[in-house]
Amino acid sequence: MSGVIIRLEPAQAERGLARLGGILCSVDESPFPGIARKTGRLRVIAAKRSSGGVAPVEKEGKRLAEWMRRDDAIRSVIDQVRLKGGPPSVPIHLLVLDKDAHTLAWETLFVEGFLALNELSPIARIPRNLRTDVRDPVRPLALPLRVTCVMSATGVSALKQWTAVHDSVSAVRDRVPVQLTIISGDKDVLQAAKEKAAADPLLVVHPVPGPNAPVPLLELIRRTEPHVLHFFAHGDVDRNSAQRILVATVSDVDTDSGILDADEVGRMAAQVGTWCVVLTICGGADAATTAQLTHAETIVTHGVPASIAMRTEITSADADRFTQSWFPVALDALAAVAVPAAQATERRPLQWADTLTRARRDLRDRNGADAGANGVWSLPVLYAVPGTFLLEVPGGAHGVIAETVQQDRLGSQDTIEQLIAILVQRGAPPEAIAQLRERLAQDGPVA
């Protein structure tokens, strides 16, 4: 199912609402019959974060849910999602246009349990300035899957990040080829990754380039054309309200000498066809500064289908646990949909919201297992284009190519045919392929 879209937007002040303002709420879209689009008016609730008290996270989640469920349509659709009884999930997409309400922890919505901890009701947000006609993004699949990780947070070891990502990639390579690019300023990560890369042609390792390097960091990332782009770094907003990703270089590991603008990252990622950008940085989804978009929102508004970031600060230990939990689930889901089609090209769905449930539960368990008292599990925020993300998976000869790559690891047998197949897949003209085969035939067999 494509999910539910609930809109919360500011109402114009009217008599009785002038002092507090108000919020118009509506169910914009629902897969359930009998849920008519309805607009109701609710008084705005105080935009403040929980502090103290018994089970403050549960209290806040109940408060938000009770407030929303005053609207008949919203109450009905949330209940149908909760009581659905089995897969597939029905993601709840929230478009929160009211600037104060957007700062609230909607990921903690509680109706007889936290919705976001239930695999049937994951929660995502829609960026506030996304065009209304943008939905159901379709992206072509060209193997290998490409994962690029920038792991370089000043003063924090990235070794656990490296191990988590590498192990996750290794676990799915028997099903689908995955090219992993590691860009780091952490010398321990670089050493460990280079040792693995010596025997792995699909592992590429780069140090973070300095500010005067001939190939700057953003261009280096661009050249990898990642399907999934992951950052482990620091994040902030500068005095000019630019959302920054702060990356340490090898030569200056104690200083955030590599600075990327989320706006530039979003433009670059959209241009190269990135599917999801993961920001394991502090405050990448922090909407407390309501005059601007968050880092993750900015990235999605440029055309990237999904971006995950943290609503507030996150400890390095929790960041490591998130990566250890999220990557295996996400890559397993991608490997499942990337299996070559038997004949004709197929469009296959993937719900990015589904990839967060395990990570949320693991963050909950790491912090005392009481989701109602500790809200670390609610920090990851998914901003996504509404609808369903669709991968366009080629069939026919592509399937043979993929199987060969899986079995031979890009090279021990039939290398020339594999390279020709890749050229065909990348759109090389038939006459060029014919000339290449003729030249190879003239030169004789390759040893």
Over the stretch 85-106, which tens digit does the pLDDT of each residue have?
788 999 999 999 888 888 889 9
The three-state (H, E, C) secondary structure of 320-367, written as one string: HHHHHHHHHHHHHHHHHHHCCCCCCCEEEEECHHHHHHHHHHHHHHHC
Mean pLDDT, range 130-143, rounded to an integer:
88
**pLDDT more than 90, % of the chain:** 54
**pLDDT at 255 exceeding the cut of 80:** no
Query: Residue 262: helix, strand or coil by DSSP?
Result: helix
pLDDT bracket for residue 67 (50, 70, 90): confident
Give the Å distances, CA to CA, from 237 to 16, 243, 277, 280.
Answer: 37, 5, 18, 15
**pLDDT at 119 exceeding the cut of 70:** yes
pLDDT of residue 87: 87
Half-sphere exposure of 259 (CA within 13 A, CB side): 9
Query: What is the C-alpha to C-alpha distance for residues 244 and 265, in angstroms, rounded to an integer?
Result: 10
**pLDDT at 20 exceeding the cut of 50:** no
Q: What is the pTM of this model?
A: 0.84
Domains and their CATH numbers in the chain: 4-125 (no CATH), 138-393 (3.40.50.1460), 397-443 (no CATH)
